[in-house]
Amino acid sequence: MAENCDMEKRLRADLTTSMKAKDKLRTATLRMLLSAVQTEKVSGKEAHELTDEDVLRVLAKESKKRGESAEIYTQNGRGELAATERAEAQIIDEYLPTPLTDAELADVADTAIAQVAEELGERPAMRQMGQVMKAATANAAGKADGSRISAAVKARL
């Protein structure tokens, strides 16, 4: 059990630290993240422990939500709310792996295409995009979101 939740332990430890430092924004953000992690644990038919990868996936989803909310607030002239969302996203992003650059993402797509080509015995076409995406997503290991991976794969196929 202990090996699965290093990320969660880190979040809890950082929450304690931020509470002691009276850092309201960080405390609120970490509480919200731990709540999202807890929700993920009890989702599905039965409660389950999360691996660090699962926790990172939850964090990436929360970060993406903050970015989308900030966009909407900005469009509606609610700058102060957008700023809060962006600040929360920055805190969440501290826990996420460094995103891949476009060049690194292109390499991931090329590697995935090569892997699928090896399996198929021929270069994959658009209709094998699902297989290529599966390989590329595994290779990216949470360092790029699906839409960026998809765009890189499409550009290469």
pLDDT digits (tens, 9 = 90+) for 106-118: 999 999 999 999 9
Query: For residues 100-119, b (16+ Cβ closer than 10 Å) or e, as one string?
Result: beeeebeebbeebbebbeee
pTM of the model: 0.71
Query: For 66-107, what is each residue's pLDDT tens digit?
Result: 999 999 999 999 999 999 999 999 999 999 888 888 899 899
Mean of the per-residue pLDDT values of the chain: 89
Cα–Cα distance between 110 and 126 in angstroms, integer? 14
The reported pLDDT for the residue numbered 2 is: 42
